[in-house]
Amino acid sequence: MSNDRVCSRIVGYGESQVGRLACIILGNFLQKQLSGKPFVLVVEDGILVAMAIEDALIDRGMDVAVATTLANARALVGQRIPDAVLLDLQLPDGHTLDLASTLHAQGCAVAFSSAFGEEAVPASHDFAYHFKKPVSADFLADWVVEALWQQQNPQRHGSGS
């Protein structure tokens, strides 16, 4: 169910910015509750790479959206906040650093992938995991599964158990 459909059923909520935000939050909640699957956003300008990652995530039971540009990624995030995001660090229309910060603040697990070393990701983004390309789609999908498990089981994260 799209957020617009949810908003159209809540009379008057779509009329203001506060109402629109409430609709987005409610829509995200309902989508996750209805599908029961984690939602993962893949932001990658390499179409074949993005498709391979998407397939690996779907095989692991995830709902997946793919964006090949920063603008497209922002539009998707405006509709639904992901549980996890895999970000190509550099896209033709910009860097994904600000998007990563925004999503991290929303509780989203964040990982970057780039052909550059870890020094390409500033220290201010140490909340995100960094993968050096090339990296297999299965490896990235396994990271998503682990990151989501750690979000749901924070007491076990880093305990050495």
How are beta strands 39-43 and 63-67 bridged, if at all?
parallel
**What is the rounded CA–CA span in Å between residue 40 and residue 42?**
6
Q: Inform me whether the pLDDT recorded for 155 exceeds 90.
A: no
Q: Which domains does the chain possess? A: 1-35 (no CATH), 37-156 (3.40.50.2300)
pLDDT digits (tens, 9 = 90+) for 76-112: 999 999 999 999 999 999 999 999 999 999 999 999 9
DSSP states of 34-72? HH-S-EEEEE-S-HHHHHHHHHHHHHTT-EEEEESSHHH
Rounded to two decimals, the pTM is 0.74
pLDDT value of residue 124: 73
**What is the rounded CA–CA span in Å between residue 121 and residue 68?**
20
**What is the rounded CA–CA span in Å between residue 56 and residue 112?**
17
- Residue 125 — very low, low, confident or very high, per pLDDT cuts 50/70/90? confident
Strand (E) or helix (H) holding 131: strand 129-132
pLDDT digits (tens, 9 = 90+) for 13-31: 445 565 666 555 555 555 5
**What is the rounded CA–CA span in Å between residue 51 and residue 42?**
9
